[in-house]
Structure 1
Amino acid sequence: MTDKLPPSRPKAITRRQFLVATSASAAASYMLLNRPAWAVTSDMARAGDFGELDATAGDGIDLYLENRDLLIGGQPGQAIAINGSIPGPVIRMTEGKDALIRVHNRLPEATSIHWHGILLPFDMDGVPGISFAGIAAGETFTYRFPVRQNGSYWYHSHSGFQEQRGHYGQLIIDPAKPDPVDYDVEYSVVLSDWTFENPHTVFRNLKTIEGYYNFQRPTLANLDDQMQATGMTLGEVIEKRLSWQRMRMDPTDIADVTGATYTFLMNGKTADENPTFIAEPGQRVRLRIVNASAQTFYDIRIPGVPMTVVQADGQDTKPVETDEFRIAVAETYDVVVTMPDDKAYTLFAEAMDRSGFTRGTLAPREDMSAAIPEQRRRPMLTMADMGMMMKGGMEGMKDMKGMDHASMEKQMPHPTGDELPTENLVNRIEHGPDKHGPSSITMAQSAYRRLDYPGAGLGDDGWRVLTYSQLRALERPPLRRPPTREFDLHLTGNMHKFIWGFDGKKWSESDVIRFQYGERLRINMINDTMMSHPIHLHGMWMDLYAGGNLDTNPRKHTVNVQPSELLTVDITADAPGQWAFHCHLLYHMEAGMFRTVAVVRSLEGGSIDADA
């Protein structure tokens, strides 16, 4: 194998070439995806046996990617292992130093590694067809970049469905200055989802049969269950179901892929395998939690132990004590807990749709465990969740938390050149005429801010639940200023055909989004669908409007946009090159919810030479 340094300007790749490159060679790799039970051998390694490497020390590190048979929850399957395991090793770096990482591709197909949330030159970002050509089978690629930040992040493949097969790991960057977070011990907590099915089969099932993995739909058999859960009469339940049917919607459409095929993992292990995190009574434990799932949102809690959130997406936040929080795909949260006593406590991660869970144990000794919480009833979306204004008025709005009704009639302005407001932004906008065609069929009447909304199925049991409205930057990020340009971006989808996109277009049909170099830009994301979408921008921070101001609004690399939500982010376009901008639900991204962003000299000109 030979080292292959990236060219300064990647060769242009067409969309068709990109799709062929990321899928054609994958078939051979998936043919042996699963192993029959008789193929299990006593020396077969188990998932979850990963180490730690420092990419900013000495001569860098080496990562070896290969297909490997692993026991996952006691069952044999073929994963894409990084240095022998899933997840891959925890990669540590130190702020202010240079990272050097050699990736050796021993797979029979092309691969890549994207350093999620890391600021770096665009040709080190690791997205085939956007920022480089990918790493061909049998080749080695060297990533080299300065480390300009600190915090908890992660890395993963950006090639086909490799992420679903275990191609991910955590990345921790130690600060150059003293860490503002006080703790005694720390642990990586990598949440993920695994399927023994071929991911291409999963995708085909989603495209072929709507709700293929949703076994919790309303049926005649569960009419009584719904009556008992809601307190409604039989007639009221039937009328509610008919109203959803008339809109061609399903109130149980919480997750596309569920526990019907997924095995839920914590650090590569199932709930039965129960990974343990050791801490003595009185110690402050820092848990660096990343959701490396392909599709699964998790609700995190430690019954009997409050958690203090100290970091979101690698950025220090003012401490917030909470009992539970929902972590979207690709988000990271650092929490600190104080070990109360000489007992075991369960770190419980429950799938948002309640179709399964994983767990670990926080304990003073190995081989201890605590009670596993009873799984909660799966949530159902309401008309308020979907922004449906009954009878065209304010009726039905009473359940919409966090709304300022006095500002509802204001419309979203779109000035250019002048500074835009940064506080007290409008809370609701009318959708207006639908111009997004057949690729958007679940449009709500309005989009509104949901910063105080914890998410479907949370907040009704008396526990404190973290919301975006509680996140505040510990210190004002440098060079933050008001934006002078804005545009709306609609998140659209057709569940029946499993088509996802922005503004009604799939990536293959869309144009490049242009940011002007140096500008301060606002994007108003408007979710026209009935599903949540974690949206990730590569190469640049998104400053989330969370109800604060320029000093306090948090900075994130991934923002979760809930059904019918209006969510605003401000961006400084300070990263020349081409970047990916997409939903981080893997199958949504593959189905079209992806755009290319080009940072250009002017909105009328071409791309900037990244080496200039």
Structure 2
Amino acid sequence: MDLRVILPRRSFLAGAASLVAGTALPVPAWARGMTVPTAARGFGSLSGEDIHMEIGRASFGTGGRSGHGFAINGTIPGPLVRLREGQNVRLHVTNNLDEDSSIHWHGLLVPFQFDGVPGVSFPGIRPGETFSYEFPVRQAGTYWWHSHSGLQEQAGHYGPIVVEAADGSDSRFDRDYVVLLSEFTPLHPHEVMRKLKVGEHYFNYQMQTATEGDMPLAERVMWGGMRMNPRDISDVTGSTYTFLVNGHGPADDLEFLFRPGERVRLRVINGSAMTFFNLRMPGLPMTVIQADGQDVEDVTVDELQIGVAETYDVVVEPGEGAHTLVAEAMDRSGMGVATLTSRPGRRAPVPPLRETPTLTMADMGMASMDHGAMDHGSMGHGSGNDGAASAQPMSHDMRDVSKLPPDVKAGPGVDMVAPMPANRMDFPGLGLDSVDHRVLHYTDLRSKRPNPRRAPDRQMEIHLTGNMERYMWSFDGSKFSAVTDDPIRFGYDERVRVTLVNNTMMAHPIHLHGHFFELVNGADELHQPLKHTLIVQPGSKAVFDLTANEPGDWAFHCHLLYHMHAGMMQTVTVRPFPETA
């Protein structure tokens, strides 16, 4: 089978049933629904040329919370899929649910009809049927897989991918561990969505009172006048989430063993639905060697923020004893915890949650009002600010949608516009801008392998838009359901410089399927780092260069699950298809 022969989208979707076959094999007990009380925590490993995965319902519990879940091969998270660069793989996925399902191979370069997005690249996997994905493995690195159907990803339908490098370079480490960060809620995902639609602050128990903190009065008046709150950081919080490491809550005492002096590689994956994590191991530096599965020049830090759907590979060299791995939610409403230890059962102290961070005018797209220096620690944190910067005229109101460009649909789904969005590629993430240790910035990342030298053929701008009160999210003011017949169009092999403008006061991890793009982060053009997911900070701009060399139809979306579900998604189409031999 020539996997480079790709059908036009409509012809493929019309005939895709030929790739799906009902299974006549006996269904395992764990896959028949709620017959098994609780799915196993953690994951096994699958490898080989033919890999079989079965999706079933289960319950899941940790830390005193239990609820509905989707188990793949009986575990939550699902199994580690271990591949080899250069191999051909066939992944046979059987859906034992009573609803459609799917698997998207996040970050893997695959023919579009095997990308796993219902309604974009294939019709989905119907109840009782099996879909076989088949493709060559064209890369190495750390990736992950997850459902792209409904809200199944929130309830356990996800797992890690490790692709071993063909050159044997992975063997230079003494230990190699996957660290999959996620979260669990006892609420059904559709109930979470319903509560967000009823009130976007439903899960937020950290809102500021009228007298809390040292924010100047004039600034409080401005926030109030725009009906916004400077603690509006995470839509879903530790009030309902238990934060997980490899499916284990903080009370489960998850351990990663090592011998003193070993070089330990941690493949960190943010497989959560909604949570940005700030990752650190107090007293133990981390050297970042890969971002989104792609090699970068070594950067040593003490802490990094990992957005939803990003991956970072880090190397640590722990000494005798124990080191606590802390994955603290960005809003500091909870944390995932594990231990690196040289002796089973040995523990290090778990640090307390740090103070909840507070948004500033820079997060509202008013960077010049924040002393023009991106200093998030300077406002509302006892810096001695006298409020003069806040006493600007209300013409800077973030609610003034008349400031939007004409190609952005300024309807009921848009109630925010960043008046002065600035490039914030050097911002390390909320809560990490005022710590006294080394943190990772996107501007630290440099590709280890030179990129082809090529100037963009054209430029385009895409606005990230939303109405937080109505919980509506979109690109350019249009929800996905309204733009399916008007995709973002790229010519095959066209190189485009894309500017993302975040008109909202929330960070969005934006993911493009089927491609890697180059961050325009200040590195020279030969060493711009490759990524598939990019955090666009509140009220900011972010820029990437894309060479559209993967033909087909691809999803482009915010990877905050409920934002995508509420409309922040588009289709990217790359045409024409190249001639094949």
1:50 and 2:50 equivalent? Answer: no
* Identity in percent: 48
> Retained in 1: the 8 A contact 2:304–2:439?
yes
Match 1:475 to one of 438, 441, 449: 449
Task: Report SS of the residue matched to 2:435.
Answer: coil
Establish whether residue 519 from structure 1 lines up as the match of residue 512 from structure 2. no
Which SS does the other structure have where 2:109 is aligned? coil
Report the Cα distance in structure 1 between the residues aligned to 2:561 and 2:362, rounded to whole angstroms: 27
Is 2:107 the counterpart of 1:104? no
Separation of aligned partners in 2, 1:461 and 1:181: 35
TM-score normalised according to structure 1 size: 0.83
- Determine the structure 1 residue equivalent to 2:572: 597
Matches within 5 A, 1:27-66: 45=38, 47-54=40-47, 57=48, 59-66=49-56
Separation in 1, partners of 2:135, 2:58: 29
Cα distance in structure 2, aligned partners of 1:314 and 1:82: 24
> Aligned pair in 2 of structure 1 residues 67, 610: CA closer, same or farther (>3 Å)?
farther
What is the distance in 1 between the residues matched to 2:278 and 2:41? 21
Question: What secondary structure does 2:194 align onto?
Answer: helix
Q: Deviations over 1:267-308 (max 9, x none)?
A: 001011121000111111100000001000000000010000
Q: In the alignment, residue 477 of structure 2 is paired with which amino acid?
A: G
Q: Distance in 2 between matches of 1:481 and 1:375?
A: 46
Q: Given residue 79 of structure 2, which amino acid in structure 1 is its aligned partner? A: P
Residue 92 of structure 1 contacts residue 172 of structure 1 at CA under 8 Å; is this kept in 2?
A: yes
Structure 1 equivalent of residue 219 of structure 2: 240
Number of residue pairs the alignment of both structures matches: 529
Rate the CA distance shift 1:521–1:7 in 2: closer, same or farther, 3 A: closer
Alignment of 1:166 onto 2:166:
no
> Are 2:375 and 2:433, in contact at CA under 8 Å, matched by a contact in 1?
no
* Equivalent-residue separation in structure 1 for 2:522 and 2:563 (angstroms): 29
Q: Per the alignment, in what secondary structure is the counterpart of residue 385 of structure 1?
A: helix
* Counterpart residue identity of residue 271, structure 1: P
Q: Is the 8 A contact 2:203 2:237 kept in 1?
A: yes
Contact 1:66 1:80 in 2 (8 A): yes
Return closer, same or farther for 1:453/1:103 CA change in 2, 3 Å cut-off.
same
- Equivalent of residue 284 in structure 1, options 244, 247, 263: 263
Q: Deviation at 1:451?
A: 1.6
| Contact 1:431–1:447 (Cα < 8 Å) also in 2 | no
Shifted more, 253-262 versus 292-301: the winner is 253-262
Match of 2:318 in 1: 339
Q: Which residue number in structure 1 is paired with residue 361 of structure 2?
A: 383
Q: Which residue of 2 aligns with 1:361?
A: 339
Cα distance, 1:395–1:136 mapped onto 2, change above 3 Å:
closer
CA distance in 2, matches of 1:176, 1:379: 43
Q: Are the equivalent residues in 1 in contact too, given 2:72–2:79 (CA < 8 A)?
A: yes
CA shift, 1:590, in A, is: 0.6
Aligned partners of 1:9 and 1:123 also within 8 Å:
no
* Structure 1 position 351 matched with structure 2 position 344: no
| TM-score calculated relative to the size of structure 2 | 0.87
Partners of 1:75 and 1:384 lie apart in 2 by 37
Task: For residue 387 of structure 1, report the CA deviation from its aligned partner.
Answer: 2.4
Gapped regions of structure 1 (runs ≥ 5):
1-5, 15-33, 36-40, 403-429, 602-607
Three-state SS of the structure 2 residue aligned to 1:245 is helix
- Structure 1 residue 152 corresponds to structure 2 residue 142: yes
Describe the SS at the equivalent of 2:356: coil
Q: Distance in 1 between matches of 2:284 and 2:244?
A: 22
1:218 pairs with 2:230: no
Aligned to 1:505: 478
Within the candidate set 270, 273, 276, 1:294 is matched to: 273
TM superposition shift of 1:610: 9.2
Determine the C-alpha separation between the residues in 2 that align with 1:449 and 1:581: 21
Letter in 2 for 1:256: D
Rounded Cα–Cα distance in structure 2 between residues aligned with 1:162 and 1:81: 10
Question: Does structure 1 retain, via aligned residues, the 8 Å contact 2:6–2:552?
Answer: no
Q: Distance in 1 between matches of 2:248 and 2:560?
A: 21
Look up the equivalent residue of 2:475 and give its one-letter code: F
CA shift for structure 1 position 476: 1.1
Asked whether the equivalents of residues 12 and 129 of structure 1 are also in contact (C-alpha less than 8 Å), the reply is: no
User: Per-residue deviation at 1:433?
Assistant: 4.9
Q: Does 1:255 align with 2:255?
A: no
**Compared with structure 1, are the counterparts of its residues 480 and 99 closer, same or farther at alpha carbon in structure 2 (3 Å cutoff)?**
farther
How has the CA–CA distance of structure 1 residues 279 and 580 changed in structure 2, closer, same or farther, with 3 Å as cutoff?
Answer: same
CA contact (8 A) 1:539 1:579 kept: yes
Note the C-alpha offset of 1:63. Answer: 0.5
Whole-Å separation in 2 of the counterparts to 1:107 and 1:360: 32
**Contact preservation (8 Å) 2:517, 2:530:** yes
Alpha-carbon distance between aligned partners in 2 of 1:257 and 1:395, rounded to the nearest angstrom: 29
State the 1:77 CA deviation. 2.3
Q: CA deviation at 1:74?
A: 4.5
Bigger drift between 65-74 and 567-576 goes to 65-74
The answer on whether the counterparts of 2:39 and 2:74 sit within 8 Å (CA) in structure 1 is no
- The one-letter code matched in structure 1 to 2:546 is I
CA-CA distance at 1:611 after TM superposition: 7.4
Matching of residue 559 in structure 1 with residue 534 in structure 2? yes
Is the 2:164–2:170 contact (alpha carbons within 8 Å) kept by the matching residues of 1? no
Moved more, 464-473 or 376-385: 376-385
Amino acid corresponding to residue 142 of structure 1 in structure 2: S
Alpha-carbon shift at residue 76 of structure 1 (Å) = 3.4
In structure 1, which of residues 370, 374, 377 is the aligned counterpart of residue 348 of structure 2?
370
Q: Distance between the aligned counterparts of 2:579 and 2:364, measured in 1?
A: 42
Aligned to 1:127: 117
- Aligned partners of 2:226 and 2:580: how far apart in 1? 52
* TM-aligned CA distance change 1:397 to 1:484, over 3 Å: farther
How far the C-alpha of 1:183 sits from its partner, in A, is 1.5
| CA drift at 1:196 | 0.8
Aligned: 1:192 with 2:182? yes
Match in the other structure for 2:410: 437
Structure 1 CA distance, aligned partners of 2:119 and 2:11?
8
C-alpha distance in 2 between matches for 1:453 and 1:142: 42
SS of the equivalent of 2:191 reads helix
Give the whole-Å Cα distance in 2 for the aligned partners of 1:110 and 1:610.
34
Report the residue type matching 1:298 in the other structure. Answer: F
Which of residues 43, 50, 69 in structure 2 aligns to 1:79?
69
Report SS of the residue matched to 2:83: strand
CA distance in 2, matches of 1:44, 1:611: 51
Matched, 1:587 2:562: yes
- Residue 364 of structure 2 aligns to a residue whose secondary structure is coil
Answer yes or no: is the 8 Å Cα contact 1:8–1:611 preserved in 2.
no
Matched residues in 1 for 2:579 and 2:230: separation?
47
- Distance in structure 2 (CA, Å) of the matches to 1:564 and 1:147: 38
**Does 1:320 pair with 2:299?**
yes
Q: For structure 1, which segment, 159-168 or 561-570, has the greater mean C-alpha deviation from structure 2 after superposition?
A: 561-570
> CA separation of 1:273/1:610 partners in 2, compared to 1, >3 Å: closer, same or farther?
farther
2:315 counterpart SS class = strand
